[in-house]
Amino acid sequence: MDGCWRVWSILLFSTIFHKIFCSEDEFRLLRDLRQNYDPVERPVKNHSEPVVVKLKILLQQIVDVDEKNQVLTVVLWFQTNFDARFPVNFVVSYTGEVLHAPPAIVMCSCEIDITWFPFDEQLCVLKYGVWTYSKPYVDIVLDEEGLQTNQSMNTEYYIKNGEWDLLGTDYLKNNTGYANDNYPVHLIYLLIRRRTIYYGMNWIVPSILFYTSNVLGFTLPPECGEKITL
């Protein structure tokens, strides 16, 4: 009986010692990784080369078009890939490639022209770029997986809006000059058209019927009693 108790005591002690030993290794590993870590350092091996970021934007939904304040609200799914040379707080593959794919509700200014309301079409532009580093330090390229054959956005996961129809999208890469530096900018064009069924059934058709009844009222003789009701 005493021999069995001694064996169990040795096994229990070995298990506790093993856990403490692993915990110490994990602590030292995290300490060594964060010792010379600078969050503002660019993830490149050669600092004379820019960080190439692959951009992929998926349009999910048009939330709202505020005509009064001229603001467009959309839901986008951003996917950015770049090759990291040191640990970062993103998803990292075995090749060192980092994937950052956050969803976002984006509000942007859009010049609204309601001249032909409710048969109007609007062209809104979204700008995506890096304003902290110029092009020699950070460059943005389009990921071909996020584009269709005609250089339009990938609308595979797009949810239709009840008031606006999406007619088409387009990509355009441009450089913005500021303080003798060039900054890479990607322009995303959204062409939308207002659905007129709601306005036609609730505004246009009742207005036409009301106007027609008023015109027909003048064709009735004055002694007709129905003219007063019309």
pLDDT tens by residue, 57-115: 888 899 999 999 999 999 988 776 666 554 455 666 666 666 666 778 889 899 999 88
Give the residue among 216, 192, 187, 184 at the shortest CA–CA distance from 61.
192
One domain, residues 156 and 92: yes
Examine residue 207 and state whether it is found in any structural domain, yes or no: yes
Cα–Cα distance, 127 to 150 (Å, whole number): 20
Tens digits of residue pLDDT in 142-161 = 766 544 445 577 788 888 99
pLDDT tier for residue 21 given thresholds of 50, 70 and 90: very low
Cα–Cα distance, 21 to 223 (Å, whole number): 108
Q: Are 118 and 165 in contact (CB under 8 A)?
A: no
Q: What is the DSSP letter of 146?
A: G
One domain, residues 58 and 17: no
One domain, residues 191 and 202: no
What is the extent of the structural domain holding 214?
A: 198-230
Examine residue 42 and state whether it is found in any structural domain, yes or no: no
Examine residue 40 and state whether it is found in any structural domain, yes or no: no
* Residue 170 scores a pLDDT above 60: yes
Cα 191-194-200 angle, rounded to 5 deg: 160
Percentage of the chain surpassing pLDDT 70? Answer: 65
DSSP state string for 7-45: HHHHHHHHHHHHHHHHHHHHHHHHHHHTTT--TTS-S-S
One domain, residues 60 and 102: yes
Examine residue 83 and state whether it is found in any structural domain, yes or no: yes
Examine residue 104 and state whether it is found in any structural domain, yes or no: yes
Cα–Cα distance, 15 to 206 (Å, whole number): 83
One domain, residues 1 and 82: no
In this structure, the strands spanning 164-178 and 51-66 are unpaired
Cα–Cα distance, 83 to 135 (Å, whole number): 17
One domain, residues 5 and 22: yes
- Per-residue confidence (pLDDT) for residue 166, from 0 to 100: 92
Cα–Cα distance, 8 to 2 (Å, whole number): 10
Other residues' Cβ atoms within 10 Å of the Cβ of residue 215: 9
Q: The tokens of 88 are what? A: 């970062």
Q: Which residues contact 70 (CB under 8 A, 6 or more apart)?
A: 109, 110, 111, 112
Examine residue 79 and state whether it is found in any structural domain, yes or no: yes
- Per-residue confidence (pLDDT) for residue 76, from 0 to 100: 86
* Residue the block writes with tokens 């770029």: 129
Examine residue 45 and state whether it is found in any structural domain, yes or no: no
One domain, residues 112 and 183: yes
Examine residue 123 and state whether it is found in any structural domain, yes or no: yes
One domain, residues 88 and 190: yes
One domain, residues 13 and 98: no
